[in-house]
Chains A and B, each alone.
Chain A
């Protein structure tokens, strides 16, 4: 039920292909949809999005959505996403004063990294397709339900999820309470199969007489072909209208994720007490993660603009805690166009098993060494900010378009810089991220 105002549209400009795709998607949701005497039309959107990190990964994405009211109270929507990821991704090892060689994830080759360069696997290429569907309807005058499903596939990863949500209005619809559950099951079949935790990366430096010998040694470091990941999430929400100009929302979320949570493509450098890398070992993370989040949002309508600010706190049992502040300010012009600046601050504390590298000393302690370790900078201590600007405008036939340009910068915090291993002083142990985002949306 979309009871928000829609922008006026010219029905002549609907695409026939889009209608057919929409009908096919409708068939997925079941046969119980009988179009009533209803002249509601489909609303579509098409988006193109590009993300590019300086010297690292780039992504391009195409998104197509459609939605339609099927009765006074029901609404169906779908989304199709195609995306492609290319470029270099940090593999977890640290730079050295000498060049380094690593084996590719699928073991069919190697790559060399120059001295003082942060090791990245630059043969990183992944394409993904995703479909989401969702159906919402009223149960009683004041309650609504929504059910949805999503399916996503890429070369090494399959993800399937379902979700359901109930919402109830109180006090002239000024208060809405909602509860939602989502369940997901993913199957991860990494290229080159799942590595043994902390196994050494087999690198062919000429010690193997044949490729078959290399392959045998490589296979000895692998276990299963695929692993599963199960996700269960609960989200409780309270939306409240304060006055004619303002509303807020508070959410509490709980997530339980279990299964294979390690990144099979990431390694750690194992260094001696001079900081010289002796070995590369595959990382290992716990097989479960429980997470709590609280979220608050406020939206305020001034005379010619709308301002919103939100805060989110997330905490999990890997000891990661994060704070996010996100704010937008949309300024309207008379001709139906708008400018919207956007600022986001993010700060997270490192997972307890995060370490930029491991030393041999740590692994040869009389007490058992670390059970989990990962050098993935994305679970380290970091601060990030995003600054962006969006422009939206109306086209002559009543359709709308938007363009958004953003800059994302992530910097590691210095809280966990280890007390010196002398030779690592002039090595950059913590990668930064510098990215530009460009997006076009078209609504018709």
Chain B
């Protein structure tokens, strides 16, 4: 008697959990992505960098491959003259403090802009994290990469070099 009541209660709890899950899924599928941090997206305009090869990198503190990409980006910025090549890293963290903690551990010698609402990411149709878009000196997107792969470093560098060499003034 006691035990079959427990079985009945378990069935009730099971139904309750099923209903709660469905309610959650249906009603909470609205956008919960808002961030209240200030954004620099209005400051970015590719035409500002005409004449230079631009490497636009999309990153976030929670993106593990970004820890590998930052040292490499520092190297690249070092290697090529600032007249020919500029790196702009777009941070997509919802809280700026998280980006700052990341940069303490992975310092950046290149320009960082903040896009907490993902407007720039959406504009450039980013398909994964991290992502990069490499522009030629005329401001046209020449290459786009999804992900950062250590084994592809040479390939990435080759692309930068090609764009710097071609269309040199």
Contacts and interface: CB of A to CB of B under 8 A. Distances in A.
Do A and B contact each other directly (Cβ–Cβ < 8 Å)? yes
Given A36-B151, A173-B128, A323-B10, A243 B3 contact: no
A126 B7 CA distance: 35
A5 B93 CA distance: 14
A1 B58 CA distance: 21
Contacts of A243: 28-33
Interface in A306-351: 309, 311, 323, 325, 327, 345, 347
Interface in A138-185: 141, 172-173
A101 B25 CA distance: 59
Contact of B64 (A5, A71, A325, A327): A5
A384 to B, nearest CB: 11
Nearest to B126: A172
Contacts of B24: 246, 298, 300
B4 A413 contact: yes
Nearest to B26: A242
Contacts of A383: 3, 6-7, 10
Contact of B10 (A141, A325, A412, A414): A325
Interface residues of A, number: 36
A325 B6 contact: no
Contacts of B105: 8
B150 interface: yes
B128 A414 contact: no
Given A309-B17, A383-B6, A242 B25 contact: yes
Nearest to B20: A309
A246 B6 contact: no
A72 B68 CA distance: 10
A71 B65 CA distance: 11
Interface string B146-162: 11011100000000000
B127 interface: yes
B97 to A, nearest CB: 13
A245 interface: yes
A72 B25 contact: no
Contact of B1 (A8, A38, A411, A414): A414
Given A248-B25, A300-B24, A309-B17, A72 B3 contact: no
Nearest to A4: B64
A72 B10 contact: no
A244 B18 CA distance: 21
B67 to A, nearest CB: 10
Given A173-B128, A383-B3, A414-B1, A244 B33 contact: yes
Nearest to A1: B64
Interface residues of B, number: 31
Nearest to A417: B3
B13 interface: yes
Contacts, number: 78
Contacts of A72: 65, 149-151
Contacts of A4: 64
A183 to B, nearest CB: 33
Contacts of A246: 24-25, 28
A246 B105 CA distance: 29
B14 interface: yes
Contacts of A415: 3-4
A345 B10 contact: yes
A3 interface: yes
B110 interface: no
Contacts of B31: 243
A257 B165 CA distance: 65
A6 interface: yes
Interface string A114-141: 0000000000000000000000000001
A73 B149 CA distance: 9
B143 interface: no
A59 B146 CA distance: 49
B36 interface: no
A414 B64 contact: no
A396 interface: no
B80 interface: no
B62 interface: yes
Given A71-B151, A172-B128, A298-B21, A245 B28 contact: yes
B4 A414 contact: yes
Contacts of A304: none
Interface in A207-250: 242-246, 248
Interface in A185-208: none
7 closest residue pairs by CB, A with B: A413-B3, A72-B149, A414-B3, A244-B32, A244-B33, A298-B21, A72-B150
Interface of B: 1-4, 6-7, 10, 13-14, 17-18, 21, 24-25, 28-33, 62, 64-65, 105, 127-128, 146-147, 149-151
Given A309-B21, A327-B17, A412-B3, 4 more contacts: A3-B64, A383-B7, A383-B10, A413-B3
Interface of A: 2-6, 8, 36-38, 71-73, 141, 172-173, 242-246, 248, 298, 300, 309, 311, 323, 325, 327, 345, 347, 383, 411-415
13 contacts: A3-B64, A3-B65, A5-B62, A37-B150, A71-B151, A141-B146, A172-B128, A243-B31, A298-B21, A311-B18, A347-B7, A347-B10, A414-B3
